[in-house]
Each structure stands twice: as C-alpha cells, then as structure tokens.
C-alpha cells in the first residue's frame, strides 16, 4: 500500500499516531513546527514535550490513570515505553525526567524508516489522509482552516507550576515522605503551622497576576475578556480566592503526613516532586499559577523551606483550545463529514498527557484500518480508552468540556463493593477482560 498519511504535530498524540501507522507498514509524513517556531508554552526542541508536569499520574491498574496506561501498553504505546525507560521516583505515579523522555520519544520517531519528519509550520490542512494532532495552542492559518472545517472552537486556560533547585532549599524546614507511607519518600514536604498558613494565604490572595497575552484572550459578546480556567489545572491563587481553607483541601492538604519534628500532622503542607532523575530540580506540586514572576518569588518564598529558593522556571498560564468534538467527531476520532481526516490529542477535548497519547494511538490505528478497507475500532465502553472516545463523540453532550480519565465515565459494574480499592480493581479487571475479548476479534 502506497498511501502516505500526514500527521500534524509531534506532541504525544502525533508521535503515537505516527508510530501506530508505521507499525502497520504505512508511510508517514510527520509535520512539526519546532525548531523553526515554538508555541508560547513550549521551550524544548524535542518531540513529546511535557509542559505542565512531569507526572503521567498513578501507575496502579486499579486507578483510572493506571488502567489507561495498561490499555495503551497493550496497544504498543511508544509513550508508555519511553516513559518507563526515563522514569524518576514518584511514589505510586509514573513520573519522568522530562528532557530524557522527550529525547527518547524523538529518537524512536526520527529513526523509524517509515516516518519522514518535516520541519516548519503548517498553515492549512493538506489534501489526502491527515491526522491533526497540532495541540491545544494551534494558531495561525492552521487554526483558521480547522475552524473553517469544524465550526465552533471552544477554549479554556490552564497553568504550569514553578520549578526550584534542591540545593537552594532550607533542609531544616523540610522532610521527605509520601502520603500514608506509599512509595519511598519520593516527595519533599514543606509543613506549615496555622500562623504560617494564614500569612501565606493573605499574601497569595493579594498578589498581582500577570496580564494575559493576546493569544490567551477571548472576548465575550460585549467585547470583554472572558475565559474559563479548567478545574484540573487550577491556578493556586484562583483556588485560594475561593476561601481561606480551600487550599488545605486541595494542593496543601496535610492528610497522610506526619511532621517528624513535631510528631503531629501539619496544619498544611506543600509538596515538591522531582523534576529530573538527578534530583536537582523540584516541581511545586499543584502550584500552577499566573502570578507575576516577582510576586511568585515573594509569595512562594513564604513556604517553609523555600525562604531562599532558586526558581529556575516560574509558573505560566496559557490558553488551550479544542474543537466541539461531540458535534463533529466520531468515536474512532475521524470527522463524520470527512472520514479521511482524524483528530488526536487535547484539541479533541481529552484532557491530560496520557489521554492525549491514547487518542493518538486510536487515531493512528483507525487511519491504518480505514486505508486497509477494514472497520475502525472503538474500544468497549468498559475500557478507559473506550469511555473517553465515547464521551468526546457523544452527540447528546451539551456544554462540552475536556475530560480526563476517571472511573466515573465507565459503566457501573452492577455489584456493590464497599471497599473503594476493591471496587476499582473489579472495574479494572472487567475493563482488561473486555479489552482482550474485543481485540481478539479484530486482529
């Protein structure tokens, strides 16, 4: 078969799509605008760049994220393979050294004889068979062409957390531990007294936010700035303004931790997670922010242990855009009106790194099957990938918002199991059984 597929974007979704096509002997033209041009959120030259976090979430199969990754692994995911090769300790999560992860995925793609990488920005949707995985910051002519093809664009904002050096931390004020003893003390914990928390709260709610860039702004019908912050990546200052105790039930919850100095649970805690395998850089967990850089330095230095912290990257906020998938997209990730065009990644409304990669896997598999004259695949609703694909393509969905992997999108198991972990294990077992039965009939 001589059909060549154009894949636009070498993020996680685009790389997965290209990899799946290549595995099936199909030639791929992978178009990536880096290094000629970078989006406002991207800095690294490699493919599959992680921006918001280095964590691909929980590994255990009886969690939504873990189940999703197991399904991806069984489908031959290049992202999961490279993530496991470049993993750093993170308790029960799969976290990676971000640069090594990107390099690993890049090497796998550029050394694939079936994939030709074309550098430069794509301004319009090419003719022929196309997978659009251009990401949540798609801009310029391509964005306009997608809008012409798909109609409504929806958007939300998310934010990235700051990174500090381990060397600059005050070791007398911090301790290593994972919540409830899970993991090998993979997190640094910064414990607060009630007085310290109150001072921090007062500082953060009065801090000045950075102005949004033009690419981050949307206008409502009256011409005023109007944007929605996605709940899954809430800036810490926005969370704080919802009430003085809100952070203590979110990013600063102290549950499952004991301060070794006091022997008691802290009033509040900020956790830091390894940003690289060397342990020289740490991410402030849950502290996505749009505060001005000077304000970040001032306010976050009030965190115990960060009094003299060196910030190697401050938090930033940017816009994510996505198509109104339920109106236009099929469950196999192709456009209903243009079945030779597939979408993958966050632009479809799946939210999260692994979710984006999973959609790329399915877009690649289904494009290959369509070119081979075979029926496309939509995994069973009991599977996590199947649940996500059905959610984004459900025409009955109104007020469509991005969806990440969660047990709530899967059908009820029909058996009452009181223990949560046992219930989720039963859900996962059912999912993987359904996955194997479905795939065995489709080979």
What residue ranges in 177-226 does DSSP mark as E strands? 187-192
What's the confidence (pLDDT) of residue 431? 98
Residue 429 has pLDDT above 70, yes or no: yes
Give the confidence band of 19 by pLDDT, cuts at 50, 70, 90. Answer: very high
When pLDDT is cut at 50, 70 and 90, the band that residue 291 belongs to is very high
pLDDT at 221: 42
**pLDDT computed for residue 427 by the predictor:** 95
User: What is the pLDDT at residue 88?
Assistant: 94
pLDDT of 53 higher than 50: yes
Overall average pLDDT of the 103-130 stretch = 97
Q: How confident is the model at residue 27 (pLDDT cuts 50, 70, 90)?
A: very high
pLDDT given for residue 217 in this prediction: 54
Token digits of residue 101: 């992860």
Q: What is the pLDDT of residues 62-78, one digit of tens each?
A: 999 999 999 999 999 99
More confident site: 52 or 236: 236
Mean pLDDT of 404-432: 91
Find the mean pLDDT for residues 286-306.
96
Residue 428 has pLDDT above 90, yes or no: yes
The DSSP symbol for 229 reads B
Could you give the domains of the chain?
4-152+324-440 (3.50.50.60), 160-316 (2.40.30.260)
* Average pLDDT value for residue range 412-430: 91
How many H-runs (helices) and E-runs (strands) does the chain carry?
12, 16
Nearest to 57 by CA among 96, 21, 18: 96
Residues in the chain: 443
pLDDT at 101 over 60: yes
Q: Is residue 263 pLDDT above 80, yes or no?
A: yes
The per-residue DSSP string of 274-328 comes to ESSTTS-EEEETT----B-HHHHHHHHTTSTT-TT--EEE--EEEEEEEE-HHHH
Reply yes or no on whether the pLDDT at 85 is more than 70. Answer: yes
Q: Give the model's confidence band at 418: pLDDT under 50 very low, under 70 low, under 90 confident, else very high.
A: confident
Mean per-residue pLDDT over the chain, rounded: 90
| Per-residue pLDDT at 129 | 98
pLDDT at 39 over 90: no
Give the model confidence (pLDDT) of 376-387 as tens digits: 999 999 999 999
At 213 the pLDDT is: 55
pLDDT, tens only, 185-226: 779 999 999 999 999 999 999 999 987 655 455 444 444 444
Q: pLDDT by residue (tens digit) across 215-258? A: 455 444 444 444 456 566 789 999 999 999 999 999 999 999 99
pLDDT for the residue 335: 97
Q: Could you write out the DSSP letters of every residue in 150-165? A: H--EEEEEEEE--EEE
- The token duo for 308 is 């003299």
- Which of 90-99, 100-109, 144-153, 394-403 is predicted with the least confidence, judged by mean pLDDT? 394-403
Is residue 14 pLDDT above 90, yes or no?
yes
Q: What is the pLDDT of residue 210?
A: 83
Asked whether 136 and 347 are in contact (CB, 8 A), the reply is yes
What per-residue confidence (pLDDT) applies to 222?
Answer: 43
pLDDT in tens, 342-355: 999 999 999 889 99
Phi, psi (rounded to 5 degrees) for 204: -75, -35
pLDDT above 80: residue 286: yes
Q: What pLDDT score does 234 carry?
A: 81
In this predicted structure, the answer to whether residue 320 has a pLDDT above a threshold of 50 is yes
Query: Residue 59 to residues 48, 92, 134, 144: CA-CA distances in angstroms?
Result: 20, 6, 27, 38
pTM: 0.80
pLDDT at 399 over 80: no
Q: If you average pLDDT over residues 30-51, what whole number do you get?
A: 86
Two structure tokens written together for 303? 């965190």
What percentage of the chain carries pLDDT values higher than 70? Answer: 92
């Amino acid at each position: 078969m001589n059909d060549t597929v154009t894949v636009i974007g070498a993020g996680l979704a685009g790389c997965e799509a290209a990899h799946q096509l290549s595995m099936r002997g199909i030639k791929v033209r992978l178009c990536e605008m880096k290094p000629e041009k970078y989006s406002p959120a991207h800095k690294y030259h490699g493919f599959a760049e992680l921006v918001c976090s280095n964590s691909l979430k929980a590994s255990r199969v009886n969690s939504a994220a873990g189940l999703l990754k197991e399904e991806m692994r069984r489908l031959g995911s290049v992202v999961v393979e490279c993530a496991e090769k470049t993993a750093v300790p993170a308790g029960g999560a799969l976290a990676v050294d971000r640069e090594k992860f990107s390099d690993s995925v890049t090497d796998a793609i550029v050394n694939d004889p079936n994939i030709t990488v074309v550098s430069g920005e794509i301004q319009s949707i090419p003719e022929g068979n196309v997978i659009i995985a251009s990401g949540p910051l798609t801009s310029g002519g391509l964005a306009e062409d997608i809008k012409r093809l798909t109609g409504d664009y929806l958007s939300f904002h998310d934010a990235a957390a700051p990174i500090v050096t381990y060397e600059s931390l005050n070791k007398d004020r911090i301790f290593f531990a994972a919540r409830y003893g899970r993991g090998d003390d993979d997190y640094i914990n910064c414990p607060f007294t009630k007085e310290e928390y109150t001072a921090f709260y007062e500082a953060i709610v009065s801090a000045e936010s950075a102005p949004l860039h033009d690419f981050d702004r949307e206008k409502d019908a009256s011409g005023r700035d109007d944007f929605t912050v996605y709940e899954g990546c809430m800036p810490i200052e926005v969370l704080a303004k919802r009430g003085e105790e809100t952070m203590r039930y979110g990013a600063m919850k102290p549950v499952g931790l004991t301060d070794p100095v006091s022997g008691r649970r802290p009033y509040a805690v900020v956790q830091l997670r390894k940003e690289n395998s060397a342990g020289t850089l740490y991410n402030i967990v849950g502290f996505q922010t749009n505060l001005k850089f000077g304000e970040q330095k001032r306010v976050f230095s009030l965190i115990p242990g960060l009094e003299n912290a060196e910030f190697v990257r401050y938090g930033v906020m940017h816009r994510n855009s996505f198509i109104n998938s339920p109106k236009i997209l099929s469950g196999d990730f192709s456009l209903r009106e243009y079945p030779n065009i597939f979408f993958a990644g966050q632009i479809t409304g799946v939210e999260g790194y692994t979710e984006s990669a999973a959609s790329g896997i399915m877009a690649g598999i289904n494009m290959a099957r369509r070119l081979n004259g075979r029926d496309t695949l939509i995994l069973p609703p009991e599977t996590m990938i199947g649940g996500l694909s059905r959610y984004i393509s459900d025409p009955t969905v109104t007020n469509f918002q991005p969806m990440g992997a969660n047990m709530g999108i899967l059908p009820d198991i029909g058996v009452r199991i009181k223990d949560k972990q046992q219930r989720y294990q039963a859900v996962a077992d059912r999912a993987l059984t359904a996955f194997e039965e479905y795939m065995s009939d489709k080979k």
